[in-house]
Amino acid sequence: MKTDQHTLLVKQLARQLGFEYCGIARAEPLNDDARRLEAWLSKGYHGSMQYMENHFELRVDPSKLVPGAKSVITLLKNYYPAEEQNTAGPKISKYAYGKDYHEVIRTQLKQFLQLLRDEVGEIQGRGFVDSAPVLERSWAQKSGLGWIGKNGNLINKQNGSFFFIATLITDLELNYDDPIAKDYCGSCRKCIDACPTNAIEESKVVNGSKCISYFTIELKELLIPDEMKGKFNNWMFGCDICQDVCPWNSFSKPHNETAFTPLNEVMNFSIKQWEELTEESFSQLFKSSPLKRSKLQGIKRNLKFIGG
């Protein structure tokens, strides 16, 4: 009976904190995912993202992150915006329109764990959002929240893929949701065909080292390889092409998270305004934005590349 009550409480807290979906899976080693990740890394598809090689055992075994782990709670938070950017400016990925989701969701996960402890008692748990060694999409699929699309994104049948995925690993025993066994992409290959850098391969494998998001955010070198010239379609930070063409995203609905309210500068800056930014104004305007990850130097490098 307690397990039922605790499970109901978890689902209620998820809604209370503004998460659209909540799924729960049994905490166990992800052996199949471990093999896939190993193969992906061995091909060098992570490019210069060396951190992807670190803490391999932590990524595939939740008990290494939370001793005695019994449940993995996966939460989805919608970030699909109600408005689009001014098309005259350089393109920025939708996830970066507002405040940095890491900070927003990390705070909400801390609240989640505290509220859970207030009701249940002392439990062990840790929350993760993207920046830790957790295979979020695998856990989301195992907990019934969607399937992995050909573009590597988790796709939810009701609302598409414009979601942030957060994970809460705990030693609390809960009821587990059934995984989604079916792949609803079928024969569709719109994302594969639309990718201008051919980063999306068959069998749901994405070569991260060829992705526009990788070049505009993760790559720290001063120069972007010449062979990518003319392929960025005006994307300055990130890329949404494979999500924008996905038929399932016709079901996307605007989010209700005030922290993700778009910054006016992100939506309306012209290329000239971006180019004229100083370090001081960039730091001030984008101190809470994901764009700070590229730093002004990276933004100007990207601008030069897409405009050259």
User: Annotated catalytic, 130?
Assistant: yes
Query: Do residues 43 and 214 touch, judged by C-beta distance below 8 A?
Result: no
Instruction: Name which of 149, 137, 156, 16 is nearest 72 in CA terms.
Output: 137
The catalytic residue among 61, 130, 171, 244 is 130
| CA–CA gap between residue 125 and residue 112 (Å, rounded) | 10
Query: Do residues 253 and 162 touch, judged by C-beta distance below 8 A?
Result: no
| CA–CA gap between residue 152 and residue 192 (Å, rounded) | 11
Q: Give one DSSP letter per residue of 89-126, joined into a string.
A: SPEE-GGGSSS-HHHHHHHHHHHHHHHHHHHH-S--EE
Q: How many CA atoms lie within 13 A of 228 on its CB side?
A: 24
Q: How many CB atoms lie within 10 A of CB 299?
A: 22
Q: What is the separation of C-alpha 94 from the centre of its chain, rounded to a whole number of angstroms?
A: 11
R_g of the chain, CA atoms, integer Å: 20
Q: What are phi and psi of 43, to 5 degrees?
A: -85, -5
Residue 290: helix, strand or coil by DSSP?
A: helix
Catalytic residues: 130
